[in-house]
């Protein structure tokens, strides 16, 4: 068992909060990713769990027991850093076996454990090599092996694949995920890369400026972002965000974008629904992901004509900038769908993928359409 509970954690340097009233429960066997930009407090949080950093108030509980009084070594947690931190003079085998030195296990027990870990990481053939003769990916595999070999209650990882190149990161993502499935260790993983977070996590905890913004499954945070920060931090290309005004005449409601340069039909009761969600409908911000902007080559019901600007061909699909007044709406289309910049196409917003936010607080207005 290894359930980690963070209760009202605070940490500050002088007047600056690094972590503010953080509450988070990481369930036994769960893979939780702390996601946020640099300086958001995610690494400090991870280091506090590990016992490498003191907190100023609040409680950290592992399996129900407060651990603030325990040294890092007594918490039975393994830590993997972005930089490999291997002993350069030891072979991969000895690096992995190192944490077992103090355990007074017999040589054959140690050997069995090292080989089992090496097998699951597929580095058995590299065990006799020194770190200087390993590639970046293999070094990180060895570092992970060293963390795993003790069978710790929990694994904490701080951007463990951040230093690897793009292709290797893709491969390592899958390996890390499989490893977690096989070993069932509670894992807390820190990254600033939303793709990594989305692909690895059971749940993502998004932080900004020391404050937890939202905790949820990848589907949750992608489809129902709690505020503008989450909406724009998760997803690539970034969600379109634009000021919106409602124009209702009882029978229908139009959502006006870019100072009225574009008007899209929405359900007549939209204004009412926004009002009953408890927010004023004056300063509205509309958010829609590129795949929620539907594009047609010809006139179509509910679509408005727009001019295509830059087309980014990304291989499997294109991202097309559509000129709406002085702004752009980015749409995701099939590859080659829009011929060239300057072409006129017709666009509409998929209502089920349209989000509304309060421009003042940045909070999402909980109206789900379609």
Partner 1 sequence: MAHIRLDRVTKIFGGTTAVRDLSLDVENGEFFVLLGPTGAGKTTTLRLIAGLEKPTSGTIAIGGEDVREWSAAERDVALVFQYYSLYPRYTVYQNLAFPLKSRARHYSAEEIEERVHKAAQTLRIDHLLDRKTDKLSGGEMQRVSIGRAIVREPKAFLMDEPLSNLDAKLREALRSELKDLQMKLGATFLFVTHDQIEAMSMGDKVGVLNKGRIVQVGKPQEIYNAPRDVFVAGFVGSPAMNLLAGEVRGGRVSAMSGKVEVPLNGAAGKPSSGRRAVTVGIRSEDISVGPDEAVEARVHDVENHGVEKIVTLRVDEHLFRATVPATVAVNVESPVKFSFNPSKLHCFDRSTGANLAFSA
Beta-sheet strands, E only, within 68-178: 77-80, 154-158
Q: How many residues bind partner 1 (CB under 8 A)?
A: 44
**Under rule CB under 8 A, residue 199 binds partner 1:** yes
Residue whose CB is less far from partner 1, 260 or 336: 336
Which region among 24-32, 75-83, 174-182, 248-256 touches partner 1 (by CB under 8 A)? 174-182
> Does residue 210 contact residue 40 with C-beta atoms inside 8 Å?
yes
| Cβ 135 to partner 1 shortest distance, Å | 13
Distance CA 127, CA 119 (A): 10
- Closer residue to partner 1, CB minimum distance, 198 or 205: 198
CB of 218 to partner 1, least distance (A): 4
Cβ atoms within 10 Å, residue 34:
30
Nearer to partner 1, 210 or 290 (CB): 290
Residues 6 or more apart whose Cβ sits within 8 Å of residue 73: 51
Region of 23-31, 125-133, 146-154, 310-318 interacting with partner 1 (CB under 8 A): 310-318
Q: How far is the CB of 340 from partner 1 (least distance, A)?
A: 11
Phi, psi of 328 (to 5 degrees): -125, 140
Which DSSP letter does residue 227 get? B
User: Under the criterion CB under 8 A, does residue 194 sit at the interface with partner 1?
Assistant: yes
To partner 1, the closest distance from the beta carbon of 167 in angstroms equals: 6
Does position 329 interact with partner 1 (CB under 8 A)? The reply is no
Q: Is 53 in the site for partner 1 (CB under 8 A)?
A: no
Binding residue for partner 1 (CB under 8 A) from 146, 279, 289, 323? 289
- C-alpha distances (whole Å) from 349 to each of 49, 330, 338 are 44, 11, 17
- Sole window of 153-161, 191-199, 205-213, 267-275 interacting with partner 1 (rule: CB under 8 A): 191-199
Question: In whole angstroms, how far apart are CA 110 and each of 52, 139, 368?
Answer: 27, 20, 56
Select from 5-13, 40-48, 167-175, 245-253 the region that touches partner 1 (CB under 8 A): 167-175
Q: Would you state the structure tokens that stand for residue 231, as one six-digit string? A: 């909406």
CB 209 within 8 A of CB 221: no
- Minimum CB separation from partner 1 for residue 370, in Å? 14
Q: Which of 306, 302, 293 is nearest to 346 (CA)?
A: 306
Question: Is 170 a binder of partner 1 (CB under 8 A)?
Answer: yes
47 and 18 Cβ atoms separated by less than 8 Å: no
Q: Could you tell me which of 39, 9, 41, 2 has the C-alpha nearest to residue 24? A: 9
Site string for partner 1, 22-51 (x = CB under 8 A): ---------------xx-------------
Given strand 240-248, what is the order of strands in its sheet? 262-266, 253-257, 240-248, 284-288, 354-358, 364-365
112 binds partner 1 (CB under 8 A): no
The stretch near partner 1 (CB under 8 A) out of 110-118, 234-242, 250-258, 264-272 is 234-242
339 binds partner 1 (CB under 8 A): no
Q: What is the closest distance, in whole angstroms, from the C-beta atom of residue 217 to partner 1 in the complex?
A: 8
What residue spans of 88-129 are helical by DSSP H?
92-97, 107-121
Q: Quick one: which segment of 58-66, 72-80, 84-92, 219-227 binds partner 1 (CB under 8 A)? A: 219-227
237 part of the interface to partner 1, by CB under 8 A: yes
Comparison of 66 and 341: residue with beta carbon closer to partner 1: 341
CA 22 to chain centre: 17
**Cα 287 from Cα 201, distance rounded (Å):** 24
Where on the chain is the footprint of partner 1 (CB under 8 A)? Answer: 37-38, 165-167, 170, 173-174, 177-178, 181, 192-195, 198-200, 218-219, 222-223, 232-238, 289, 291, 309-310, 312-316, 319, 321, 332, 335-336, 341
């Amino acid at each position: 068992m290894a359930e980690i509970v963070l209760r009202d954690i605070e940490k500050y340097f002088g007047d600056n909060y690094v972590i503010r009233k953080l509450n988070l429960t990481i369930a036994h066997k769960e893979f939780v990713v702390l996601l946020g930009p640099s300086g958001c407090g995610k690494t400090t949080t991870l280091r506090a769990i590990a016992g490498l950093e003191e907190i100023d108030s609040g409680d950290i509980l592992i399996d129900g027991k407060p651990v603030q009084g325990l040294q890092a070594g007594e918490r039975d947690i393994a830590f993997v850093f972005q930089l490999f931190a291997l002993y350069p003079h030891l072979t991969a085998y000895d690096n992995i076996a190192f944490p077992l030195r103090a355990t007074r296990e017999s040589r054959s027990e140690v050997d069995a454990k090292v080989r089992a870990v090496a097998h699951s990481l597929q580095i058995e053939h590299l065990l006799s090599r020194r770190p200087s003769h390993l590639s970046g990916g293999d070094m990180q595999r060895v570092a992970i092996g060293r963390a795993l070999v003790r069978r710790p209650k929990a694994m904490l990882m701080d951007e463990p694949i951040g230093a690897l190149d793009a292709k290797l990161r893709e491969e390592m993502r899958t390996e890390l995920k499989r490893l977690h499935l096989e070993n069932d260790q509670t894992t807390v993983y820190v990254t600033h890369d939303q793709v990594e977070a989305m692909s690895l996590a059971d749940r993502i905890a998004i932080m900004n400026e020391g404050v937890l913004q939202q905790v949820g499954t990848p589907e949750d945070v992608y489809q129902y972002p709690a505020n503008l920060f989450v909406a724009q931090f998760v997803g690539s290309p970034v969600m379109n965000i634009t000021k919106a005004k409602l124009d209702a005449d009882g029978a229908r409601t139009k959502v006006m974008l870019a100072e009225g340069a574009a008007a899209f039909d929405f359900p007549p009761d939209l204004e009412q629904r926004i009002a009953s969600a408890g927010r004023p409908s004056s300063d509205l911000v509309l958010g829609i992901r590129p795949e929620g902007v539907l594009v047609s080559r010809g006139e179509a019901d509910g679509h408005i004509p727009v001019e295509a600007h830059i087309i980014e061909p990304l291989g499997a699909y294109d991202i097309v900038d559509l000129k709406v007044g002085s702004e752009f709406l980015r749409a995701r289309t099939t590859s080659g769908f829009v011929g060239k910049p300057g072409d006129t196409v017709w666009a509409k917003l998929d209502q089920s993928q349209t989000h509304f936010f309060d421009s003042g607080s940045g909070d999402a207005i909980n109206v789900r359409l379609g």
